[in-house]
Amino acid sequence: MKIEKSTIISFIFLILIASLYRVMPGRPFGFAPQIAMALFAGSVVTDKKLSFLLPILSLFISDVFYEILYRNGLSSIGGFYHGQLLNYVLFAAITVIGFNIRKENVLDIIAASLVGATAYFVFSNLAVFVLGGLDINGLPYPKTAIGFVDCYTVALPFYKMSVFATLFFNLVLFGGYYLVNKFVVKPVVIA
């Protein structure tokens, strides 16, 4: 299928804006658009192979930005780290969740937002615990029930912001998509 030039430019712009937003100083941790982008791409992009590109490319570009800032002493957060590949796998899985969203069904979008943010919270923190991620003191979580609970407890503020961000950015993405298709252009099938 043919993809219009304006659609390609829109997606490139969306990827760059989301990437830059993720590395913006002062942004609340956990408040980022990538989970919403994964759900949106899974729902809206008809070529399912291409739907993975939107969130993964956004995440990768922002990781490159983080790494550049880190290497130049402008950020304490490195872009590339041990276990990072799991983040890309999780965003691919969240994109699959988006396959089930009916893009004009608000309840589908809200449910998928909650499922996507929760799945990311559960699996990313499980990986932190299992793979020896560090706590706020720079020490690995002890491999005990208390260490497991601490790992998730410390991450709760990030989870809360992730849920808010996913709901907010899905309002922007799906809402904007609906408004543009209703009032600006005829719906275009994205391949």
Q: What is the DSSP string of the chain?
A: ----HHHHHHHHHHHHHHHHHHT-TTPPTT--SHHHHHHHHHHH-SSHHHHTHHHHHHHHHHHHHHHHHHHTTS-SS-SS-TTHHHHHHHHHHHHHHHTT--TT-HHHHHHHHHHHHHHHHHHHHHHHHHTT-B-TTS-BPPSSHHHHHHHHHHHHHHHHHHHHHHHHHHHHHHHHHHHHHHHTS------
The pLDDT assigned to 187 comes to 54
**pLDDT averaged per 10 residues, the chain (length 191):** 60 76 79 92 88 89 89 85 88 96 92 97 95 84 94 95 95 87 68 57
- pLDDT of amino acid 170: 93
Stated pTM of the model:
0.86
Q: For position 13, what pLDDT does the model report?
A: 74
